Chain A
């Protein structure tokens, strides 16, 4: 070994002075995107509120106080001394409590749908791009066909079918039970929530698949893939250890942008009455009931509308920040 070391001395001037982990670099670049930092703080607090919902709300989500509809914010319950921080809705249910329970449900729906559709899309896209040929043709023509159809009508039809017969799709009990425990809803409601997640996922993976395929196609031409094959690395390992990690940054970005999409889509479905049904609270269906009363009680639509607005905006900015932070071409 020593003979070669002599002829090829290490050129210290070429090396970077300090060792830096990738993660620290990414965090530093993300921190420079002020708006994204503010938005992630906002999102973290919303997630914390939704997480600690039991400790923060005085009422149950479905608890009706008869004769006290449209109570003003900070009014006191007629029965006992509990405060309606944000008033009550048309049935006399506590608005603040419902908003927080709804946050838990709406955000869970968005997060689970994003994870599911990203996983499916990444696998389909990676297979399609890496193996190419007939498989690629079949998968991509199928994806393109689905993408040409307007999304909302399809979602409406799908969800009306699935909500009509929720048993049509077999869902393992532990998922239903887990979700019903997590979101403080009944098993029947949880099944409904799962159906809505499936509806959102059914079209959500399409864009991810195309994105991943594009990334994989460009990675496939890189020499390091060929070097791995020359070393005897299997296709599976190349996809898992080289393709997916390199496609990770665009996937994370598109997932965070997808969260915004899913919050809105779920709200839109529920608003139109094809989503999660009352009495299970979601931001969307809370909004839909305010329609008839908004002229007399204008704060009613604002309260569930605001978190939808904030979440959609914040996820978008965080996505932007991540895009900048994860781009390996940018150096700090």
Chain B
């Protein structure tokens, strides 16, 4: 598990600086399941198991996988919104998990999050301007007037108006609320934003609008995104590099073009074949996975995917594959890939 140690070429092979903004090493997150009279820990949900990747400055790293594979948990754990069970996260050379409360507060100026559900992500009893400016307030940035100015400026940057600041969340539509959520994440002028499925709760027409805003803001403020999603088309549109997760593990990491052209892991191949293509006459091979995702309470031995893998061999049941670089910048965790 040293996916991060080797320097790979940046996204798209473009002129991006190869500086790593964020490094995630062997991240583990288990949720204890308590039961019985004494509320003892009876089991562990292995939500994230030994995940390592890195994100270059200024890029968008897409994290895909089906529901319950742990992709959201990765995002929340990186920001220390939930405590990690193991591993480390380094942001600009600083260990996030080892930061004391004061250092953590400073780190949080640079690391923000946008949520999936635009309805629960804003306090219904607080005018949205106040929600957006709260981060500025607690960090003691600027005077009252300066903070208000920044709030207005941020609202405008997501296509909203000054008078919206005084309104309450219930007066906005889902798309507007999502843009307000983006404005709140932006207010502290962070370097890195975890976008936790920011468009999957929105109408398709609004999805495009929000994605465009995210891309414009990235260009304008040199933002780095961790973009969590389950929609491959959205990821193909926005991500520079993509990581594919299955049952708490990262199974494949590659630059966007490479991954979509040349998926190596059987799970990624199955995901790719499920992307709808707007051409009814196009014949293509669909890989239909059988069965359900195994429970993360008791993940299968060997390769976690072997129970559903169409290519699995006997070895897969016992030997656990490591994520290794199978070609430049393309990392795969499968015993069958050379």
Interface residues of A (CB under 8 A from B): 1, 3-5, 7-11, 14-16, 19, 22, 222-224, 226-234, 237, 241-242, 245-246, 248, 328, 331
Closest 7 A-B residue pairs measured CB to CB?
A8-B159, A231-B135, A223-B121, A232-B108, A223-B115, A245-B125, A232-B105
Give min CB distance, A196 to chain B, whole Å. 35
Inside 8 A of A245's CB, which chain B residues have their CB?
Answer: 123, 125-126
Q: Are A19 and B157 touching (Cβ within 8 A)?
A: no
B202-216 vs A, Cβ < 8 Å mask (1 yes, 0 no)? 000000010011001
- Which of A16, A226, A230, A242 has most B Cβ within 10 Å? A230
Give min CB distance, A242 to chain B, whole Å. 5
A-contacting residues, B66-122, CB 8 Å: 76, 79, 81, 104-105, 108-109, 111-113, 115-117, 120-122
Q: Nearest residue in A to B104 (C-beta to C-beta)? A: A232
Give min CB distance, A303 to chain B, whole Å. 44
B268 within 8 A of A: no
Q: A14-B172, A226-B115, A231-B135 are in contact. Are A8 and B120 (CB under 8 A)?
A: no
Q: List 28 A-B contacts (CB under 8 A).
A: A4-B159, A4-B216, A4-B217, A5-B157, A8-B209, A14-B172, A14-B175, A16-B171, A19-B163, A19-B167, A22-B168, A222-B121, A223-B117, A223-B120, A224-B121, A228-B134, A230-B79, A230-B81, A230-B113, A231-B112, A231-B188, A232-B104, A232-B109, A233-B134, A233-B135, A233-B138, A242-B125, A242-B126
Q: Are B115 and A4 touching (Cβ within 8 A)?
A: no
CB < 8 Å neighbour of B156 from A1, A22, A226: A1
Total residues of chain B contacting the partner, CB 8 A: 54
Inside 8 A of B135's CB, which chain A residues have their CB?
Answer: 231-233
B176 within 8 A of A: yes
What is the bound-complex CA distance between A198 and B113, given in angstroms? 47
Q: Are B108 and A248 touching (Cβ within 8 A)?
A: no
Give min CB distance, B56 to chain A, whole Å. 22
List 18 additional A-B contacts (Cβ < 8 Å) besides A224-B123, A227-B121, A233-B134: A1-B157, A8-B209, A10-B160, A14-B175, A15-B164, A15-B172, A19-B167, A224-B120, A227-B115, A227-B131, A230-B79, A230-B111, A231-B134, A231-B188, A232-B104, A233-B138, A242-B123, A328-B170
What is the bound-complex CA distance between A10 and B181, given in angstroms? 16
Inside 8 A of A19's CB, which chain B residues have their CB?
Answer: 163, 166-167
Inside 8 A of A222's CB, which chain B residues have their CB?
Answer: 120-121
B139 within 8 A of A: yes
Inside 8 A of A223's CB, which chain B residues have their CB?
Answer: 115-117, 120-121
B189 within 8 A of A: no
B9 within 8 A of A: no
CB < 8 Å neighbour of B113 from A8, A10, A226: A226
What is the bound-complex CA distance between A98 and B131, given in angstroms? 52
A-contacting residues, B135-158, CB 8 Å: 135, 138-139, 153, 156-158
Inside 8 A of A229's CB, which chain B residues have their CB?
Answer: 81
What is the bound-complex CA distance between A4 and B213, given in angstroms? 7
B161 within 8 A of A: yes
Q: Are B120 and A331 touching (Cβ within 8 A)?
A: no
Give min CB distance, B155 to chain A, whole Å. 10
Question: From DSSP, what is the main secondary structure of chain A's interface residues?
Answer: helix
Interface residues of B (CB under 8 A from A): 76, 79, 81, 104-105, 108-109, 111-113, 115-117, 120-126, 131, 134-135, 138-139, 153, 156-161, 163-164, 166-168, 170-173, 175-176, 179, 181, 184-185, 188, 209, 212-213, 216-217, 220
Q: Are A8 and B108 touching (Cβ within 8 A)?
A: no
Inside 8 A of A7's CB, which chain B residues have their CB?
Answer: 159, 212-213, 216
Q: Nearest residue in A to B179 (C-beta to C-beta)? A: A8
Q: Are B158 and A8 touching (Cβ within 8 A)?
A: yes
Give min CB distance, B147 to chain A, whole Å. 13
What is the bound-complex CA distance between A332 and B125, given in angstroms? 17
Inside 8 A of B167's CB, which chain A residues have their CB?
Answer: 16, 19
Q: A5-B157, A8-B159 are in contact. Are A230 and B112 (CB under 8 A)?
A: yes
What is the bound-complex CA distance between A232 and B111, given in angstroms? 10
Inside 8 A of A16's CB, which chain B residues have their CB?
Answer: 167, 171
Q: Are A4 and B158 touching (Cβ within 8 A)?
A: yes
Inside 8 A of B220's CB, which chain A residues have their CB?
Answer: 3-4
Give min CB distance, B22 to chain A, whole Å. 15
- Which of B121, B123, B159, B179 has most A Cβ within 10 Å? B123
Q: Are A237 and B138 touching (Cβ within 8 A)?
A: yes
What is the bound-complex CA distance between A226 and B134, given in angstroms? 13
Q: Are B108 and A230 touching (Cβ within 8 A)?
A: yes
What is the bound-complex CA distance between A19 and B167, given in angstroms? 8
What is the bound-complex CA distance between A245 and B76, given in angstroms? 26
Inside 8 A of A224's CB, which chain B residues have their CB?
Answer: 120-123, 131
Q: A232-B108, A237-B138 are in contact. Are A246 and B124 (CB under 8 A)?
A: yes
What is the bound-complex CA distance between A223 and B159, given in angstroms? 23
What is the bound-complex CA distance between A245 and B134, given in angstroms? 15
- Which of A3, A11, A242 has most B Cβ within 10 Å? A11
What is the bound-complex CA distance between A22 and B126, given in angstroms? 10
Q: Are B173 and A5 touching (Cβ within 8 A)?
A: no
Q: Are B157 and A4 touching (Cβ within 8 A)?
A: yes
Inside 8 A of B125's CB, which chain A residues have their CB?
Answer: 242, 245-246, 248, 328
Q: Are B121 and A231 touching (Cβ within 8 A)?
A: no
Q: Nearest residue in A to B167 (C-beta to C-beta)? A: A19
CB < 8 Å neighbour of B124 from A3, A232, A233, A328: A328
What is the bound-complex CA distance between A261 and B79, given in angstroms? 47
Inside 8 A of B188's CB, which chain A residues have their CB?
Answer: 231
Inside 8 A of B170's CB, which chain A residues have their CB?
Answer: 328, 331
Inside 8 A of B184's CB, which chain A residues have their CB?
Answer: 227, 231
Inside 8 A of B111's CB, which chain A residues have their CB?
Answer: 230
Q: Are B166 and A8 touching (Cβ within 8 A)?
A: no
Give min CB distance, A244 to chain B, whole Å. 9
